[in-house]
Amino acid sequence: MRSVFWQSLRSYRTSLGVVSAALFGISVVLVLTFEAFGGIEGFEELLKLLPEGMRAMLKAQGGFASDATGYIGMQYRHPFYLLSTSGFVIAMAAGAVAREIERSTALMLLAVPLARWRYLAAKIASMVVAVVVLLVAVWAGTGAGVAVTGLGGVDMLSLLLVLVNLLALALAIGGIATLLSSLSSDGGHVVSVAAGTAAAMFFGDFLATIWSPAELVGYVSLYHYYDPLGVTQSGLPVRDLAVLLGVAAAGFGAALVAFQRRDLAA
């Protein structure tokens, strides 16, 4: 089981390093832009000029936090962060089962006396570790930016809670993608369906925010339960964390059962 875990991480070490470096860099730049906008006052003026849809995407339509922590936290909902984490877990999920079967390497890996559920559990564990590495890079980049600029009043603990929320979101998406992978023998199909599902949920959350008749649609979207600005202002909502981790556990659990029972030749 440990050999599968380490082999999975090694196979993604290059992409993990590149994406981590990119997230670190953009997190540093994000802090630098705070002073470039003229601090809170300057950014509040810019925010007023943004269309309602753009504020809704950042979940800032109700206003803007009055400190640097709120500014940085709100930026954690930038599509770059969401695409990087979601895309990475979807790629790893597709590679966990579907691509292994597609390449006929799964039969060789499972030829050793290793239960299927242990094999997939190792793949899931490597995914969790990889996402944690990505988010540590984000937090470290923010810390480096704060140190370089000497920006005061930044609550790094609040930002860490935001990243815990993002971790739960990424794992929820990963759980769904892993379930799809455990049922498929086509990695490309898994990526397209999982990515399409994530995109549809993001659009649903956006639509629910800007159009009141679609408000109930937002509750179906996983992105509804990720509100960085709200976390910096009021802490991490237990409900949001419970929903995301519940979806993740259900997805991974169902994937373990489905993979245990399926015919690998199908």
Domain annotation covers residue 8: yes
Domain tally, the chain: 1
Percentage of the chain surpassing pLDDT 90?
55
Residue 80: give the domain boundaries: 2-261
Q: What is the DSSP letter of 153?
A: S
In this predicted model, what pLDDT tens digit does every residue of 207-240 receive, in sequence order? 887 777 778 888 999 999 999 988 988 899 999 9
In this predicted model, what pLDDT tens digit does every residue of 76-133 receive, in sequence order? 988 899 999 999 999 999 988 888 777 767 666 666 667 888 889 999 999 999 999 9
Nearest to 236 by CA among 174, 168, 172, 173: 168
Are 89 and 127 in contact, with CB atoms under 8 Å apart?
yes
Domain annotation covers residue 171: yes
Q: Does position 1 have pLDDT exceeding 70, yes or no?
A: yes
Q: What torsion do the CA atoms of 216, 219, 221, 222 make, to the nearest 10 degrees? A: 170
In this predicted model, what pLDDT tens digit does every residue of 35-88 receive, in sequence order? 766 656 655 665 655 555 555 555 554 455 568 888 888 889 888 999 999 999
Token pair belonging to 185: 């023998």
Q: What is the DSSP letter of 263?
A: -
Domain annotation covers residue 266: no
